[in-house]
Structure 1
Amino acid sequence: MNIEQIASEVLKLSPHDRAMLAETLWESLETPYLVVPELSDDEAIVLAKRRDSEIENGEVEPLSHTQLMARLRNAG
């Protein structure tokens, strides 16, 4: 079964069951997919402003959700 087939089946689940599955999958991932430790509101604002500046200055190129998901699918 491929990812598209699995996704099709998973989307038939209730929202609660999909959320539980998503949490289970997320927790199963290892480095480099570890969740960043929670940031304080002030730290999150500083980080968001820095990332916005990096985009505005052309230092990084943002990805759309579609591009990110395609890269993740091709990485595995």
Structure 2
Amino acid sequence: MLIITVVAVLLTRDGTHHWSRSVEDTFLANCTAAAGGYADVCTCAMHRLEQQFSEQDLAALEGEMSSTGQIPERLQRPMQTAVAACR
């Protein structure tokens, strides 16, 4: 299961969300570990998810994951779609 640890800072440029370097690094580390070392797929998926979720969105999702122990449904489909598109 992928757990995303985030810092709640929203950075936007040209209407596209861009996560801070620390959030990207954490996402890639967690994703690569969960995906068995497929860093290229994780990088691609991260860029796709950045377009859909701000860091504030991720902070809220992190809170939901912490309280339920599961990936929230509103993140599951976008994550699956991003990973499938990047394989």
TM-score, normalised with respect to structure 1: 0.29
The structure showing larger relative contact order (alpha-carbon pairs under 8 Å, at least 6 residues apart) is 2
With normalisation by structure 2, the TM-score equals 0.26
